[in-house]
């Protein structure tokens, strides 16, 4: 069974060609050259709960409560 990517699960629209990519930019996790498994919690600049998140250390607490990470 193929796992979903975070943008598929969260429906943020920041993947290449996504509905929010032109307005909010393409999420660094969704770039094909970034990662194979898309560990959004380890990448700075992801878009969660309506705002861009910071470094791993700053966003770890929020990520621990994320339904995608769980």
6-15 pLDDT tens trace: 888 889 898 9
Whether residue 69 is contained in a domain is answered as: no
Whether residue 70 is contained in a domain is answered as: no
E strands present in the chain: 47-48, 51-52
Q: Across residues 36-59, what is the average pLDDT?
A: 76
Whether residue 1 is contained in a domain is answered as: no
Whether residue 13 is contained in a domain is answered as: yes
**Predicted TM-score (pTM) of this structure:** 0.73
Whether residue 41 is contained in a domain is answered as: yes
| Residue-number span of the structural domain to which 38 is assigned | 6-64
Confidence of residue 17 (pLDDT cuts 50, 70, 90): very high
Greatest mean pLDDT range, 17-21, 25-29, 32-36, 57-61: 17-21
The domain total for the chain is: 1
Whether residue 24 is contained in a domain is answered as: yes
The whole-angstrom separation of Cα 19 and Cα 32 is 18
């Amino acid at each position: 069974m193929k796992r979903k990517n975070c943008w598929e699960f969260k429906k943020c629209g920041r993947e290449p060609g996504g509905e929010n990519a032109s307005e909010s930019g393409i999420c660094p996790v969704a770039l094909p050259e970034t990662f194979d498994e898309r560990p959004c919690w380890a990448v700075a600049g992801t878009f969660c709960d309506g705002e861009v998140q910071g470094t791993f250390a700053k966003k770890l607490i929020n990520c621990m409560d994320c339904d995608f990470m769980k």
